[in-house]
Amino acid sequence: MTTPLVELAKLVDGRIVGNGELAIRGAAALDQATTGDITLLDSIERLTQCRATAAVVPASEEELGGATRPGSACAVALVVVDDVHSAFTTIFLHFHPRRPAKRIGVHSLAVVDPSAQLADDVDVHPGATIGPDVRIGKGTTIHSGTHIMAGCEIGPGVTLMPGVTLYDETLIGDRTTIHAGAVIGGYGFGYQMVEGRHDRQAQLGNVVIGADVEIGAGTTIDRGTYGPTTIGDGTKIDNLVMIAHNCRIGRHNLICSQVGIAGSTTTGDYVVMAGQVGVRDHVQIGSGAVLGAMAGVSNDVPAGARVFGIPATPEREQKLKQAALAKLPEMRREFRALRHSVEELIEQNAASEHQQHTVRQDDSDGQAA
């Protein structure tokens, strides 16, 4: 099946530069697109890499570099839009429509405790288990292998992918998505030494996750000691993230893969943590702060600050440190040269003193004679 380029442009309210009657057979990323495909160019500078028949490009003149102005020569037909990623998503789905989700209700191979309360249009796939006194809101989907323990409450429109585990009393807000293998509400890593052995401290709290949150595959969020560990509305958490007991994560945070956050840490709103950030316990991170990749955070971070490195320090300070480190080989060579020069000066000075001493000795011997 092919679609004229002009029809694709209509789907996204785009403006065509070039031949609108070109037949487009598919949509693909720039490095995979070939003749007959349409691709995405978020910068017109990448046009030279394009092997596709057409491309979706941004409307700003700064990005287009004049390629779409009248009279411009361009080997690739263009669809000019304001938001290239949104437009290309629409076009991609035109050629690769998603498989429609079928409502299945509660599958006969799912295990649901009689005391659980499920809305009429909840889907529970085979192999899922739902414990006592669980409440699940309208339109929620529970995939295979997911385990929901006693007393959990799940809002409407939630999706739990295969293999998710919710420990008892976990609360999940509306429209939240939790991906495969995530464990929510496990025991925190808290022990005390009693008679020479490590005894687990109380794990009597729970986890409360807000609305419109997304939690990546393999992520773990521990329950609080006495109160809740909380995740604010709109926060997005990547795969393989660890959030320890008693943490309070604010609204609309972005937490990238392999971040580890120790217990009782709090964040404000719109905090960004890049990959492999490590945060020690009882740290407060202010709203709008940005923690660079692999930052080791051992102290509070003010609102709006940008910190990097181990230990994490402000961006400017870290750049100065890195610049100094880059100069170390040159400084080492200069130090060697200076040391060599000082050694020569010392030798020359010693020789001069010896010569002067010899002259004075000769003068004294002459006077004595």
245 is catalytic: yes
Per residue in 130-140, is it b (16+ CB within 10 Å) or e — as a string?
Answer: bbeebebbebb
Other Cβ atoms within 10 Å of 296 Cβ, number: 17
Strand partners, 297: 279
Q: What backbone torsions phi and psi does residue 172 show, to the nearest 5 degrees?
A: -120, 125
DSSP state of 252: T
Q: Write 226-230 long-range contacts (CB < 8 A, 24+).
A: 226/202, 228/171, 229/205
- Taking phi over 0 as left and psi of -120 to 50 as alpha, with beta for the rest, 252 belongs to left
Sheet holding 266-267, edge to edge: 117-118, 135-136, 153-154, 171-172, 206-209, 228-231, 248-249, 266-267, 284-285
Residues with Cβ within 8 Å of residue 118, at least 6 apart in sequence: 106, 112, 124, 130, 136
Residues with Cβ within 8 Å of residue 237, at least 6 apart in sequence: 213, 214, 215, 216, 219, 231, 243, 253, 255
Contact 306, 286 (CB under 8 A): no
Among residues 179, 245, 252, 340, which one is catalytic? 245
The catalytic residues are 245
